Amino acid sequence: MPLFFFHIHNGFGTTPDEEGRELADEAMARDEAVKGARSLMSAEVEEGCLDLGGRIEVTDADNRPVAMVHFREVLIIKDGSA
């Protein structure tokens, strides 16, 4: 199975993924990046902060970009005024 790396870029800086994960394909890697972004944002909300400017860059074993998942694109924000 291919190896993918998930590098986090947000207001705290860049956190490179040094281990990576074996996944079936690029689509599954992107899905995992979406889940990861949502998880990171969930933890931020618990701390009373939310950085929608963050992103997760997915690369393959040769460090080639596979996907870019921007935090602001993986959730819908509702403010109750509709």
Per-residue pLDDT of the chain (82 residues; tens, 9 = 90+): 999 999 999 988 999 999 999 999 999 999 999 999 999 999 999 999 898 999 999 999 999 999 999 999 999 888 877 6
Quote the CA–CA distance of 3 and 28 in Å, as a whole number. Answer: 11
- The amino acid present at 53, given as its one-letter code, is G
Instruction: Say if pTM beats, i.e. exceeds, 0.85.
Output: yes
- The amino acid present at 40, given as its one-letter code, is L
Quote the CA–CA distance of 8 and 55 in Å, as a whole number. Answer: 6
Task: Print the domain residue range for 51.
Answer: 3-73
Residue 63 domain-assigned?
yes
- The number of folded domains in the chain is 1
Quote the CA–CA distance of 41 and 34 in Å, as a whole number. Answer: 11
Note whether 11 and 30 are within 8 A (CB): no
Residue 56 domain-assigned?
yes
Residue with tokens 């997760």: 56
Residue 47 domain-assigned?
yes
Residue 79 domain-assigned?
no
